[in-house]
Structure 1
Amino acid sequence: MKYRISILLAFLGFFAQAQEQLTLKDAVNYALQNKAEAVKARLEVQNSEYQIDEVRASALPQITATAGLTYNAIIQQMALVMGDQVQVIQMGTPWQSSAMVSLNQQIFNQAVFTGLKAAKTTREFYKINAELTEEQVIEKVANSYFEAYKTESQLTTVDKTIENTSRVRDVIKSLFDNGLAKKIDLDRIDVTLNNLKGNRQQLINALQLQENALKYLIGMDMNQDIELPDNTFEVSKHALVDESVNIENRTEIKLLEKQGELLALNKKAINAESYPSLSMTANFGYVGFGNDFPWFAKSPGAAWSGASAIGLNLSIPIFNGGSVKAKVKQAQTKIDLLEADKRDTRLALDMSLKNAITQINNSLITLNVQKENVNLAKEVLTNIENNYKFGLATLTDLLDAETQYADAQNNHTNALLDYKVAEIALIKAKGELKSLTQE
């Protein structure tokens, strides 16, 4: 019994989830948590922490323990002349063993220190890149979301048109049954109604494809049902624009600036190859040798001796054939190329801001015109319906009015989509796409 109740509760929970509306905010936040691009960008930031640890480790003491065991099957001999006699001396013993602990510490190495700065800057670069990736995901999701809602709105318009046309068809059928209408009028209205039903099925198919595309963009299971709220196409206040928006706050600019820092550090690291480096080494251990196996052997079969050394290593580059100079020039060329990219990006962002402002203002004008046109088309349709009932208008006039009213509604829906797309472009141009996660 408990098992059946658990299954029922789980089913009810899934059903409630399936019926939950998917707002733009929900879609964007879902994408930022589940879409592969956003997930990989966060992993890149996490990986940059490991890169810092790796570079930092090269500046810390490097301690190594080594051990070795050697059996000299044939021992080399050396001849020594002592007076008038030649004596042959055996060089070494059959068994040799060693156990050492070595330490190496960088005291001055400009390449290592520069690498540590570069690693920290790389972490900041990946953080900004993650922000840019999230903004790109938000823009794609928002545009796909509005495309799906546009089709859903068109489907609603077709449903209303079918409902209205069916009502007119019933009137014509009643008039035909009473001998007050022609058979051709009934056939024409039936053809119109069938065409509308065919258009409705096409819109259903298109909506399914667009919803699947939206699910893919946000990383949602394809089997999950989604429903878009009715207020998706509400006109917001984003049209009120301050044209003094500073494009330097755009993520694209910040990313290029951070990339410039990395290139400057790369040039500095190459220059560091010409600097002297100083390190300290130290080792301590034991060396064993003898005729017997040295481990655990007692004298005189084997003997052990302690060994230790401490030293400084100074490396001064003198001549490298000009390779460092050539690499420095290459690094500077990359910096110059980036500066060209910065100038072009600033120009493009400034253009996108101006275009977004122009586009949204034009979209608002078109939207108001289409809204007024819908009201006029509806009024015309109502008048012609009344005239048709009293024989003062033809069926052609009625069908034309129906078509014009449906076209006006679809044009209004298209104008709403154009406005919302322009709104997204404006929000992006202002560098405020993240605001869509909070609306």
Structure 2
Amino acid sequence: MNGLKKYTALFLLCLISVGLYAQTPLSLDSCVKVALKNRASIKALSQDQLLAALKTADLRAKYWPQVSLNYNYRYNPIIQTSIVPVGQFFQPATDEVRAIRFGTPWQQNAGATVYQPLWDASIASQVAESKIQDRLKQLDRENAENELRYEVVKTYANIWLNQTRITDSALDTLRSFQSVQLMKARLEEGRLLKTEYNKARVNHNHALENYQLAVTEFVKQIVYLSYLTTLPVDQLLRANYQSESLVSLLREADKTELNPQRISAINQLQGQNELVQQQLIGERRKNKPTVGVEGFFGANQFANTFNPVAKDSWYLASYVGLSVKWNLLAGENRANHLQQLGIQATSLSLQAEEQEQLVRKDLLELDETIRTQQQQLIPVEENIVLFKESLQIYQERFNAGKLEANDLNSMEIDLQKEILKQQDTKIQLLQNQLKRLFTSGNLALVIQ
């Protein structure tokens, strides 16, 4: 029995390592918050959103006054000649004209021009488009946050399930080891065939393999949660993963309905459709007139010789007035462009409608799958209780010499199969419930 005591101590240590040793509580909410705060990809998308907001502010600045300073100093080797109808200045007027040169060889111009836009449809359209782009960037960030939130919740649930699986597998291994010890004693007495003992060893090895797989999966999920949250692995190994938060989350998942306004794929298509609609408005306004106030104040210098500071050679000049510009033809097929945008908007609207129908279909399928798995668990859990009760009786009868080893081995195999079925069904059920919560668009409402 020394081997049995040693094995029992070993598995008790394993149970302590995943149970009693995990004294630091780690809630699901805190995991999600840490992941959203520390994830580099989320930070990058936040920067993209900030950049989009700055671009919108930059476009609004186009309504600010535009001020420019101008200066040039020119030498005119050949002064331009103009034909002047000098005869119109006489009485009676005649058709006489003369060629007259205006200007001097040397000329300077300096001044400031101010333009204040009053109404420009293209600027308003660009600002509206930029605001929609800003909103699309925000949707990208919210989508990434939802996907990260979903991954953290799934991983947290997997860790919790694998903790339970490790405990069950360890107890299963201890129980199968007890059967091996009973048969070993019978074999040493010469009252058992070696083949029956070998079969018991095989059953025990299967139980040990399941335990090792559970531990491996537990560690892998811990590493993945560390990647998602940037928390140290050793801290996560010592954490106590609480079932209460998961139970509360699943309770919400069972009663949530489809929330199209919270589904990122639909929101993205609707946002892109809104952007195209705004581009249609901007295209129609492209040839609208622009209105502003323009003013100038400066001076001109005229001189026959090179003398930038010649006395009495500078003359002030200024003006202020209303400026209206209307481009009638832009040299492009505007009707064709409008038709393209219209087709694109229709396509996006149909895609959004199709996406919503697809989500509704997925939810109905998930509901049916969840209902079936919940029903499947009822007989499986009852079978496990019955198998364990029967197996204990079989071990006692075998130890008393009232049962064949083959019956005990068969019962052990049946119990292991039922436990594996229970574990797999629980994992699939939990994953489908979380998937339903995510697919319906309500995960962010349940857990922030």
Range class of TM-score, shorter chain: 0.7 to 0.9
Q: CA deviation at 1:163?
A: 1.8
Return closer, same or farther for 1:388/1:255 CA change in 2, 3 Å cut-off. Answer: same
Residue 156 of structure 1 pairs with residue 170 of structure 2: no
Residues in 1 aligned to 2:103 and 2:256: alpha-carbon distance in whole angstroms: 93
Residues in 2 aligned to 1:425 and 1:135: alpha-carbon distance in whole angstroms: 12
Residues in 2 aligned to 1:315 and 1:417: alpha-carbon distance in whole angstroms: 69
Residues in 2 aligned to 1:337 and 1:122: alpha-carbon distance in whole angstroms: 19
Residues in 2 aligned to 1:210 and 1:417: alpha-carbon distance in whole angstroms: 13
Q: Any stretches of 5+ residues in structure 2 without a counterpart?
A: 1-21, 83-98
Residue 383 of structure 1 pairs with residue 393 of structure 2: yes
1:53 corresponds, among 57, 61, 78, to 57
Residues in 2 aligned to 1:411 and 1:154: alpha-carbon distance in whole angstroms: 12
Residues in 2 aligned to 1:79 and 1:189: alpha-carbon distance in whole angstroms: 115
TM-score, length-scaled by structure 1:
0.78
1:279 corresponds, among 268, 271, 292, to 292
Q: How many residues are paired up?
A: 407
TM-superposition CA deviations, 1:275-297 (whole Å, max 9, x none): 12223322334556776785xx6
Residues in 1 aligned to 2:148 and 2:313: alpha-carbon distance in whole angstroms: 71
- 4+ residue segments displaced more than 6 Å: 86-90, 288-293
2:271 corresponds, among 242, 251, 258, to 258
Q: CA deviation at 1:304?
A: 5.2
Residue 360 of structure 1 pairs with residue 370 of structure 2: yes
- Once the two structures are overlaid, the 10-residue window that deviates more, 104-113 or 144-153, is 144-153
Residues in 2 aligned to 1:230 and 1:184: alpha-carbon distance in whole angstroms: 45
Q: Is the 8 A contact 1:239 1:361 kept in 2?
A: no
Return closer, same or farther for 1:268/1:71 CA change in 2, 3 Å cut-off. Answer: closer
- Once the two structures are overlaid, the 10-residue window that deviates more, 231-240 or 354-363, is 231-240
Return closer, same or farther for 1:78/1:71 CA change in 2, 3 Å cut-off. Answer: closer
Residues in 1 aligned to 2:150 and 2:296: alpha-carbon distance in whole angstroms: 60
Return closer, same or farther for 1:139/1:237 CA change in 2, 3 Å cut-off. Answer: same
Q: Is the 8 A contact 2:170 2:211 kept in 1?
A: yes
Return closer, same or farther for 1:44/1:388 CA change in 2, 3 Å cut-off. Answer: same
Residues in 1 aligned to 2:139 and 2:101: alpha-carbon distance in whole angstroms: 74
Aligned position for 1:105: 116
Aligned position for 1:326: 336
Q: Any stretches of 5+ residues in structure 1 without a counterpart?
A: 1-17
TM-superposition CA deviations, 1:143-195 (whole Å, max 9, x none): 34334444444333321122222333344444555666566655554454445
Residue 114 of structure 1 pairs with residue 125 of structure 2: yes
Residues in 1 aligned to 2:254 and 2:70: alpha-carbon distance in whole angstroms: 72
Q: CA deviation at 1:265?
A: 0.9
1:399 corresponds, among 409, 414, 420, to 409
RMSD over aligned Cα atoms: 3.6
Residues in 2 aligned to 1:256 and 1:87: alpha-carbon distance in whole angstroms: 68
Aligned position for 2:251: 237
SS of structure 2 residue aligned to 1:225: helix
Same amino acid, percent of matched pairs: 17
Letter paired with 2:212: Q
Aligned position for 1:132: 143
